[in-house]
Amino acid sequence: MIYTGPLGQHSSHVIQYFESIPGVAKIKDNYNPATWMLEVTSQSVEIELNMDFAKIYKESALYKSNYELAQELSKPDPGSSDLHFERTFAQSWWEQFKSCLWKMSLSYWRSPAYNLMRIFHTLVSSLIFGLLFWKQGQKIDTQQNLFTVLGAIYGLVIFLGVNNCTSALQYFETERNVMYRERFAGMYSAFAFALAQVVTEIPYIFIQSAEFVIIIYPMMGLYGSAYKVFWSLYSMFCNLLSFNYLALFLISITPNFMLAAILQSLFFVAFNLFAGFLIPLPLQDPTSEKRFSIKVI
């Protein structure tokens, strides 16, 4: 530090201080005081004049007066108490949540690279699986046909979930970095932000789930009762929510995207291993009209 004090009219105090130092060149008429100060206090000038401007300032009367003023202002008035606030944040938790929800909704709306791409991916994937397994749901007359339908649904469910989780990691990391900066400024609590992000995901996940049911059910020829249609919608909705919230969880507990991606692959393997398997059971009654029985584990 080479100067701390008032500037004065047209930087007159700054000019007067530096011109009082022996060897410092005087300022020219109509010259920018800031430029002049930087030029006369540069490292090359210090070497040329064999002086240290920081040391000169520390030994000056200006430094002593500034130090005495700082010491005086640092002492509290008699009878005063420490500054205290009744709560950490200026707004209530509900106001924080509403602000974060509005902010996250606007951020999602302005992020087509994240939201439109996953919706488009669900559309294309459902169409491809629907074409590959066209009307297979109407041909469940053998055990192999049943395995084909169940395998198709299982594959699509895992495929869409993994894509959601993978694409969400980088977006969540960006939002987390913004949250750190705003939270350190005391704008809102971490819980209000996290809950707003959880709620904001719901409508987009519902759109993906509706795409899946609307496309897969008629193309695969599955049994179209209202009960089973809504049950499939609910199951897919919970599945995609689980994968997206997994991405949010991994980003929250890891320092960066790369480590979260590594842990993500371990979760995918675990989900696949513990997803269950099918065991064909022999029929108890050979005269039964049913040709096979399946137990899901």
Per residue in 159-212, pLDDT (tens digit) is 888 888 988 888 898 888 888 888 877 788 888 888 999 999 999 999 999 998
Domain co-membership, 134 together with 48 = no
Helix axes 257-273, 226-253, angle to 10 degrees: 140
Amino acid at 200: T
Domain co-membership, 113 together with 38 = no
Domain co-membership, 276 together with 242 = yes
Tokens representing 295 are 């137990």
Q: Find out whether 236 and 157 touch, Cβ atoms under 8 Å.
A: yes
pLDDT mean over 281-291: 54
Q: What count of residues does the chain have?
A: 297
Residue 273 domain boundaries? 93-296
Q: What is the total count of domains within the chain?
A: 2
User: Does 4 fall in a domain?
Assistant: no
Written as one string, the DSSP assignment of 258-292 is: HHHHHHHHHHHHHHHHTS--EEEE--S-TT-S---
Name the DSSP letter for residue 27: P
pLDDT above 90 as % of the chain: 14
Cα–Cα distance between 240 and 208 in angstroms, integer? Answer: 8
Cα–Cα distance between 42 and 29 in angstroms, integer? Answer: 20
Tokens representing 112 are 């087509």
